[in-house]
């Protein structure tokens, strides 16, 4: 009877081992596929167009006309085209904020084509652009430290307004000139189209693989406990028989 029981236990133990090995192979294959973005992950792509920005101003120290032209901006998902005008670093009626979340101070709006320079944050960018449209701006430039993030793309409302995102560093350089009383003229034109590729993570797949590994760890622990319990019982029975 004892021999038959030991044989049955050994047979069950063997089947458990093969099941464990098969599950391990399958999960490792799934995990490798997820890492390589092949297991229902795929890749997402976002199209965007760079903005070619020509900045012209008279240097406040040398008095010489300075001009620079670089692809330092990205068009939003709204209107893509050309625009030009004098730069206005917009501010609220109390002259304390430059985020454009409140109605612009009407006293700073010129009677010529102008471009609104607006700091990112504190409210949705659609609100900022709405204020620019209401004040007849030729374009809007939003500067942000999230320039390289595609979270700045507009998804709620599209305006018939040229709107460009630039980096916080570039925006603060232009803002410093304007705030010092320097007239800055900007011409925006269409630059190079680009495609940004990113991992389109499928949360269901991540959850599946995570739960599977947890189950695998539980099975591993149960397998080890079962193995050592049976081994202890076998050694104990052998000692009794001896």
- Spell out the per-residue pLDDT of the chain, length 242, in tens: 444 444 455 555 555 566 666 666 666 665 555 555 544 445 566 778 899 999 999 987 788 999 999 998 998 877 889 999 999 999 866 566 788 888 888 888 899 999 999 998 888 888 888 999 999 999 999 998 776 654 445 544 567 899 999 999 999 999 999 999 999 999 999 999 887 665 555 566 667 667 776 777 777 777 777 777 777 777 767 666 65
Is residue 135 classed as helix, strand or coil in its secondary structure? coil
Structure pTM?
0.63
Interhelix angle 203-241/2-35, nearest 10 degrees = 160
Residue pair 21/207 in contact by the 8 Å Cβ criterion: no
**Rounded Cα–Cα distance for residues 217 and 24 (Å):** 10
Fold of 44-199: Glucose Oxidase; domain 1 (3.50.30)
Q: Give me the phi and psi of 164, to 5 degrees please.
A: -130, 140
Instruction: Give the residue extent of every domain in the chain.
Output: 44-199, 201-242
Residues forming a β-bridge with 68:
55
Pairing label, strands 65-75, 43-58:
antiparallel
Query: Closest Cα to residue 186, out of 162, 220, 216?
Result: 162
Query: Closest Cα to residue 49, out of 89, 4, 82, 94?
Result: 82
């Amino acid at each position: 009877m004892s021999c038959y029981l030991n044989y049955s236990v050994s047979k069950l133990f063997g089947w458990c081992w093969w099941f464990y090995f098969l599950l391990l192979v399958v999960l490792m294959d799934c995990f490798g596929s997820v890492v390589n973005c092949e297991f229902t992950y795929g890749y997402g792509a976002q199209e965007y167009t760079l903005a070619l920005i020509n900045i012209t101003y008279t240097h406040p120290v040398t008095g010489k006309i300075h001009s620079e032209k670089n692809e330092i901006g990205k068009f939003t998902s709204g209107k893509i085209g050309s625009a030009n005008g004098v730069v206005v670093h917009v501010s609220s009626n109390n002259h304390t904020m430059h985020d454009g979340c409140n109605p612009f101070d009407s006293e700073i709006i010129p009677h010529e084509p102008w471009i609104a320079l607006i700091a990112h944050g504190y409210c949705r960018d659609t609100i900022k652009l709405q204020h620019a449209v209401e004040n007849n701006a030729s374009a809007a430039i939003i500067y942000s430290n999230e320039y390289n993030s595609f979270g700045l793309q507009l998804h709620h409302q599209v305006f018939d307004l040229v709107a460009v995102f630039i980096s916080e560093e570039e925006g603060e350089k232009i803002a410093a000139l304007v705030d010092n009383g320097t007239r800055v003229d900007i011409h925006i034109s269409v630059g190079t189209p680009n495609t940004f590729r990113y991992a389109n993570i499928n949360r269901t797949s991540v959850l599946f693989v995570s739960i599977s590994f947890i189950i695998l760890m539980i099975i591993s622990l149960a397998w080890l406990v079962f193995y050592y319990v049976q081994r202890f019982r076998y050694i104990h029975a052998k000692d009794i028989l001896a």
